[in-house]
């Protein structure tokens, strides 16, 4: 990855703003619907990887020139009318693949919202590692359309919008220690819709559950305190997400996502408990552990530990003050 972190958001007042509809790529646009275009455009950049989310209120035609050497994976978030890319009629939450160096032509017949992830084709092996079909660059060399599962598609869309909203309002939450987690969280929202449209892949050997869990824990020990996404573990260990889920269910009776969440909650509690007065906030600790919905973080925390995170931080403050009095 490059050495640039970016969070940017602006209001659109005219179709010209959509020339930057995808961060790092020029898009030719033509307004089709009547009326002044209004909308929003937000970008998150992590090196050469980026996520763009845009909204607009009138019909548009978009074209990408063939000089862009990056892969673009897009998702339709909302649409008032028909949306077509090439010959593909898009439905809500569907995923579109625009390979490198390929011209693209899309028509939005009414107001719409979209998300676009732009990355280097060579990054798919690490980003989707563990999922053999997704981690193969050849999967992404041809234009493609993946029909989203109705339920999973809605969940993926909500998560993607929530991630963007969180990083836009908490820009300090995007640091180099958390960047890989956010990159993978964004990519997973796209991947889940692609995987749901592919036939199931039951091939592959299921290793000993305890041995696999031990390898996961060793990997987590090596990463230290930074948040780790499930897809990173799958890529590092060369196993599919399904295999990982079966192993954790067998050993712990819960999936790897729940296990990682509880591990991150424990890390957050330790940080809050040992923090000096005024040195941090609950929000900063939560974001440092990859919790981008602070209300949900508080709910998870209370259910896990029986107290609010602010109480843990407050107790640490009181303990520090008491020690100071005792040593005076």
Tens of each residue's pLDDT in the chain, 328 residues: 445 789 999 999 999 999 999 999 999 999 999 998 999 999 999 999 999 999 999 999 999 887 889 999 999 999 999 999 988 999 999 999 999 999 999 999 999 999 999 999 999 998 988 788 899 999 899 999 999 998 999 999 999 999 999 888 887 778 888 889 999 999 999 998 898 887 665 444 455 888 899 899 999 989 887 888 999 999 999 898 889 998 998 888 889 999 989 988 988 998 898 887 688 899 989 988 888 788 999 999 999 899 999 989 877 555 555 555 444 4
18 lies in the same domain as 123: yes
**Residue 159 backbone phi and psi in degrees, to 5:** -65, -40
Residue 260 lies in a domain: no
75 lies in the same domain as 183: yes
Residue-level pLDDT at 205: 45
Residue 262 lies in a domain: no
Containing structural domain, residue 297: 274-328
Residue-level pLDDT at 112: 97
Residue 266 lies in a domain: no
227 lies in the same domain as 328: no
| Closest of 282, 284, 314, 313 to residue 298, by C-alpha | 282
Provide the 3-class DSSP secondary structure of residue 25.
strand
* Mode of pairing for the β-strands spanning 71-79 and 83-85: unpaired
Give the chain's domain count: 3
167 lies in the same domain as 293: no
Q: What whole-number distance in Å separates Cα of residue 3 and Cα of residue 146?
A: 32
119 lies in the same domain as 55: yes
187 lies in the same domain as 102: yes
63 lies in the same domain as 138: yes
């Amino acid at each position: 990855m490059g050495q640039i972190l970016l969070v940017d958001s602006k209001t659109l007042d005219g179709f010209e703003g959509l020339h930057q509809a995808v961060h790092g790529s020029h898009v030719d646009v033509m307004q089709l619907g009547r009326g002044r275009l209004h909308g929003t455009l937000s970008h998150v950049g992590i090196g050469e990887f980026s996520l763009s989310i845009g909204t607009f209120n009138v019909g548009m035609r978009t074209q990408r020139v063939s000089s862009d050497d990056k892969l673009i994976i897009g998702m339709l978030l909302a649409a008032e009318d028909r949306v077509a890319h090439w010959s593909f009629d898009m439905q809500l939450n569907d995923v579109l693949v625009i390979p490198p160096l390929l011209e693209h032509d899309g028509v939005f017949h009414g107001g719409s919202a979209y998300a676009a992830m732009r990355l280097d084709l060579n990054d798919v092996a690490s980003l989707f590692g563990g999922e053999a079909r997704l981690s193969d660059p050849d999967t992404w060399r041809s234009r493609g359309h993946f029909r989203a599962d109705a339920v999973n598609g809605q969940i993926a869309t909500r998560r993607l919008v929530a991630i963007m909203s969180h990083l836009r309002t908490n820009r300090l939450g995007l640091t180099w220690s958390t960047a890989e987690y956010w990159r993978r969280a964004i990519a997973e929202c796209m991947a889940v819709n692609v995987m749901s449209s592919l036939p199931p892949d039951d091939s592959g050997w299921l290793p000993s559950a305890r041995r696999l869990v031990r390898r996961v824990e060793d990997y987590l020990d090596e990463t230290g305190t930074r948040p780790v996404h499930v897809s990173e573990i799958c890529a590092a260990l060369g196993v599919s997400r399904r295999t990982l889920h079966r192993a954790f269910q067998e050993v712990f009776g819960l999936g790897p996502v729940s296990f990682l969440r509880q591990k991150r909650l424990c890390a957050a509690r330790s940080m809050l408990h040992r923090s000096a007065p005024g040195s941090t906030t609950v929000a900063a600790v939560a974001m440092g552990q990859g919790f981008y919905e602070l209300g949900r973080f508080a709910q998870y925390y209370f259910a896990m530990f029986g107290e609010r995170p602010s109480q843990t931080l407050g107790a640490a403050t009181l303990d520090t003050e008491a020690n100071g009095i005792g040593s005076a």
